[in-house]
Amino acid sequence: MQPRRLSIIVFRMRLIIQVLIALVALRVPVDAQERAFQCDPRKKISLKEGEALIDKVQARYQDEKSIRAKFYQYSFLAALETSELSSGDVLFLKPGQMRWNYKEPEIQIFLVKDGTVWFYQAAERQVMVNEFEKVILSDLPVAFLMGLGNLRRDFTFKGGCRNNDGIVLDLRSLPKPEKSRESGEQSELAGFKLLIDPQTNFPRGAEVAHIGGNLTSILLAEVELGAKLDASMFEPVFPKGTDTNDLRTRPVEVR
């Protein structure tokens, strides 16, 4: 596999698990995606309103145990000056399970379950397997996404505004516990924005920026809250003849 393609694959594995959103549009070009997170300085919200909204969003999201939606993803890899638009459908089953079925520009599957990540590429007839904690850049947005975190505990309000798409919350990650700092752990998170539906207090968009210039935003459409999802949907089952590249310390069974 070419180094450039491998870098893009690893980048996607690390960044796809950073964000959750729901969007009102079906197809979203890059400029529309950027506008969704832009603030009009004339429509800023106060610190008090922003802090209160964080609590409302956390309460609203933690009530939803399963979600099904279509997604539209924009990714930018600064090191290669490469961007990519992708789309497909996604399933969330909290806590800790999600599956991204890519349909465009090529068929791929990104599955997270029981602390393990599987990344399947149909064109390569290959699945890469790794430990979840090894492929994430920041565990804070991930924890919220998978129903394991808390916005109030992990973030504070940096700024926000109203725009035509909803309410934008610009969040700052809170310092890690003393134990994490002593171990040398450092967050790669440079920015985290949520786009909130003012009618439901449910996330309608999110954008994650990382130190070094990498950026990912994912927009969801046709969101189904409380979707009936079977546990079999999160099993690592791939077509016969698929090669397995297992990067875990302990081998993982792939069927």
Taking only Cα atoms into account, the Rg of the chain, rounded to an integer number of angstroms, comes to 18
Q: Residue 251's pLDDT is what?
A: 55
- On the question of pLDDT at 36 being above 70, the answer is yes
Q: Residue 25's pLDDT is what?
A: 30
User: Poorest-confidence range of 18-22, 64-68, 110-114?
Assistant: 18-22
pLDDT more than 90, % of the chain: 31
Tokens, residue 76: 């930018």
- The pLDDT confidence band at residue 78, using thresholds 50, 70 and 90, is confident
Q: How many CA atoms lie within 13 A of 148 on its CB side?
A: 16
- On the question of pLDDT at 22 being above 90, the answer is no
pLDDT digits (tens, 9 = 90+) for 99-139: 999 999 999 999 999 889 999 999 999 999 998 877 664 45
CB 144 within 8 A of CB 61: yes
Tokens, residue 43: 């429509």
- On the question of pLDDT at 67 being above 50, the answer is yes
User: Poorest-confidence range of 68-72, 77-81, 180-184?
Assistant: 180-184
Domains of the chain: 3-231 (2.50.20.10)
pLDDT digits (tens, 9 = 90+) for 157-216: 999 999 988 899 999 888 766 544 444 444 567 888 888 888 888 887 788 888 888 888
Looking at residue 121, its amino acid is: Q
- On the question of pLDDT at 140 being above 70, the answer is no
Average pLDDT, the chain: 79
Q: Residue 203's pLDDT is what?
A: 81
